[in-house]
Amino acid sequence: MRLKNKIALITGAGGAIGREAALLFAREGARVVVSDVIDKNGEETVAMIRSAGGEAAFIHADVSKEADAAAMIAFAEKTYGALHVLFNNAGISHKDDDDILATSESIWDLTLAINVKGVAWGCKYGIPALLRAGGGSIINTASFVAILGAATSQIAYTASKGAVLSMTREIANEFARKGIRANALCPGPVRSPLTDTFLNTEERRQRRLVHIPMGRFGTAQEMANGALFLASDESSFVNGATFTVDGGITSAYVTPE
């Protein structure tokens, strides 16, 4: 078991990638704190883990709220006694997030509050807990759009993921000698409720697939596998990485037929 005796907290663990990661981490021996802003979905993830024989507990947290982030980390320590893995996975991609000319102030504020401050608050309260546990692993979810200009613009989302990537590098530098590794998981396009908000026609989906050398979308399971590697001690010398799990999209210029 790759996460035996570890305690992991996953934000947005009622969603596609977060749920797969929670199930996988639990199968690999972790006790998992499942956090989400939608209670029903988070509780469902916990029920799935428990019915498979794993250990998990749910806490409601809106990651954009500092007090919620503090409470979610405190809950992990109180429930399981420590925290070793923090997976800041929660994020949004709003349907009204458009190009630079069209995107409104309220969409900018909402997107940055959840996607950027949400990761910052998770780290602000999670890092002291990881230090109390003697070290640990932080996985912050950025995106391939933090590296490449996207074909279908979602400007606030893209800017938010750039911020996650650079924030992660700085954290990786600051805490490495104290036993904390921090890496940015950069998924390529995955079919999920999040991407279905804007990849909502066959034409748009095909527009994106043109750029992916593997010619298909990724799966939440494939992202969870990447997160598992970063969470486990197998990645003990991986720190500050831009960890792409993207079917090659960030390596492609023009994809051959």
Instruction: Look at the chain and count its residues.
Output: 257
> In this structure, which amino acid lies at residue 166?
S
Q: Is 36 in the site for ligand NAD (CB under 6 A)?
A: yes
Map the footprint of ligand NAD across residues 185-204, applying CB under 6 A: 187, 189-190, 192-195
**215 exposure class (CB count in 10 Å sphere: 0-12, 13-18, 19+):** exposed
Tokens, residue 254: 């023009």
Using the minimum distance from each CB to ligand NAD, give the nearer residue, 147 or 176: 147
Which of these ranges, 14-22, 147-155, 166-174, 205-213, lies near ligand NAD under the rule CB under 6 A? 14-22
Q: How far is the CB of 65 from ligand NAD (least distance, A)?
A: 8
The number of C-alpha atoms within 13 Å of 90 and in the hemisphere containing its C-beta is: 33
How big, in percent rounded to 5, are the helix, strand and coil portions of the chain? 50, 15, 35
Site string for ligand NAD, 134-153 (x = CB under 6 A): -------x-x----------
123 alpha-carbon distance from chain centroid? 13
| Element housing 10 (H / E) | strand 7-11
Check residue 89 for interaction with ligand NAD (CB under 6 A): yes
Query: Binding of ligand NAD at residue 41 (CB under 6 A)?
Result: yes
Q: Which residues form the interface with ligand NAD (CB under 6 A)?
A: 11-12, 14-18, 36-38, 41, 61-64, 89-93, 114, 118, 141, 143, 187, 189-190, 192-195
Catalytic residues: 157
